[in-house]
Structure 1
Amino acid sequence: MPLLAPDAPIGLPAFALSDDQIATVVDLISQGCSAARSNLHAGMLEVPITIVVRKAMRRVKRTLGLTNLQIRGEVELEDMSTNDPTLLGRIDITLQFLHQFGDEDAYVAVECKRVHASEPGLNTRYVTEGVDRFVTSRYAAGHEWGFMLGYVLALPASDVVKAVDSRVRKAYGESAGLVPETPHALSLAVLEGALLQGGSHTIRLKHILVDMLPAAKVSSDQLSAP
């Protein structure tokens, strides 16, 4: 179980994360999704699933006694360099560690998407409406790390990994490919790839796939909904 030091890391930039902090994010996500699964029902879309997951993550955080980070709900992102009222987007889940407090641009971004072994539309949106938002700097501009959370609605997860890996390599190059890492005990897979953000900055993206299929099966019509 990853443990956090009581104080902010000395000299660590606000956009950076230590190995312990990365492990803590993976642990909170994996435990939170596992705890949330019993509260899901067939046909739930991404937004209500994510609300249940966020609440479960907060409960896990309290149980672990982690007081030097906060888990926030959906966050609206604005371009502060202009007076344009258009939003850059809404990140599903964000976390802030103690060394990031006070800087609205410093956070841990977690974008959530449903994926399915035999539903190419969902797996495509994981890339075009998820991964791409990190590449284009809509999310986590200048950050060292971003996180994608895949709600796996049908096994095997390896089919999802193959589909997503093929799409990200084709769209963003070989370095973006999903490299397997040791999975969390409560995850199906943990993978990592490197993306070129804004044409010059490298951001590493951690992909966490979790089993989120409730007891009742989800219909094809419900899966095709955004």
Structure 2
Amino acid sequence: MPLLTPDLPFGQPAFELSDDQIATVLDLLCRGCDEARPHLTPGMLEVPMTIVVRKAMRRVKKSLGLTNLQIRGEHELEDMANSDPTILGRIDITLQFLHQFGEEDAYVAVECKRVQAGDSSLNGRYVTNGVERFASGKYAAGHDWGFMLGYVLALPASTIVDAVDASIRKAYGEAAGLAAEAANTLALAVLEGALVQNGHNIRLKHVFVDMAPAATTSSSS
């Protein structure tokens, strides 16, 4: 796992992340999902799955002795322009590095979605209820980076990636297409794409991990 840089602000604004920090988020997501998978049950929905993953990520973070970042629970986005108690949305997982502490709007956003081969409904929502929230600026407004975490319930992952990539290109143009990267050993696929967010480019890291409950996998083998 890459070592984090010294506890100094990486850059201004606090939305910026170093290569080491991006790699650290990717590694924590993959390790956390691998740690969480034995605790999943068949039919588990997205929210309880993410709670299990978030707790596992915190255990991994503690075991690695990472003290210059924190993993936060569901992050509520409020409508600051009005006095009513409207909640605009809830980001599944957010992380903050030391240089972001104290700034509520500075965080690393991770949106989690279930996907599976042959399921156009789930795979479609990955884009319409996930990627779109970054593209519109509803999540991570003005940030350089965001993360999408795909819980793969049924293989092969390649067909899921193809479906998601096609949907993204159709919705946001060919330039927004996904480019494959060297995958983490605990991930099925890692890809990256860029979106225009209110005139600002935001890069999304897409991480697909095998999250079929172990009991389901063993019973079908």
- Over the aligned positions, Cα root-mean-square deviation in angstroms equals 1.3
Tell me what 1:43 maps to: 43
- In the other structure, the counterpart of 2:194 is 194
Count residues in correspondence. 217
Structure 1 stretches of 4+ moved >3 Å: 9-12, 215-218
Consecutive unaligned residues in structure 2, runs of 5 or more: none
Aligned-residue identity in percent: 72
User: CA separation in 2, counterparts of 1:195 and 1:82?
Assistant: 28
TM-score, normalised on structure 2?
Answer: 0.95
Q: Secondary structure at the match of 2:183?
A: coil
Q: Residue type matched to 1:24 in 2?
A: T
Which amino acid in structure 2 is aligned with residue 89 of structure 1? G
Indicate whether 1:158 and 2:145 are aligned.
Answer: no
Work out whether 1:75 is the aligned partner of 2:70. Answer: no
**Structure 2: distance between partners of 1:180 and 1:191:** 4
| Paired residue type of 2:214 | A
| 1:217 Cα deviation from its structure 2 partner | 4.2
Q: Per-residue CA shift, 1:105-133, capped at 9, x if unaligned?
A: 00000000000011110000000000000
Which residue pairs with 2:18 in the alignment? 18
Secondary structure of 1:56's match?
helix
Which residue of structure 1 lines up, in the alignment, with residue 55 of structure 2?
55
Q: 1:197 to 1:10 in 2, by over 3 A?
A: closer
Question: Match for residue 204 of structure 1?
Answer: 203
- Kindly provide the CA deviation profile for residues 137-163 of structure 1, in whole angstroms up to 9, marking residues without a partner as x: 110000000000000001110000000
Alpha-carbon displacement from aligned partner over 1:157-200 (angstroms, at most 9, x marks no partner)? 000000000000000111221100000010001000000112x0
User: Match of 1:125, as an amino acid?
Assistant: R
Q: What is the SS of the residue equivalent to 1:77?
A: strand
- Please report the TM-score for the alignment, with normalisation by the length of structure 1: 0.93
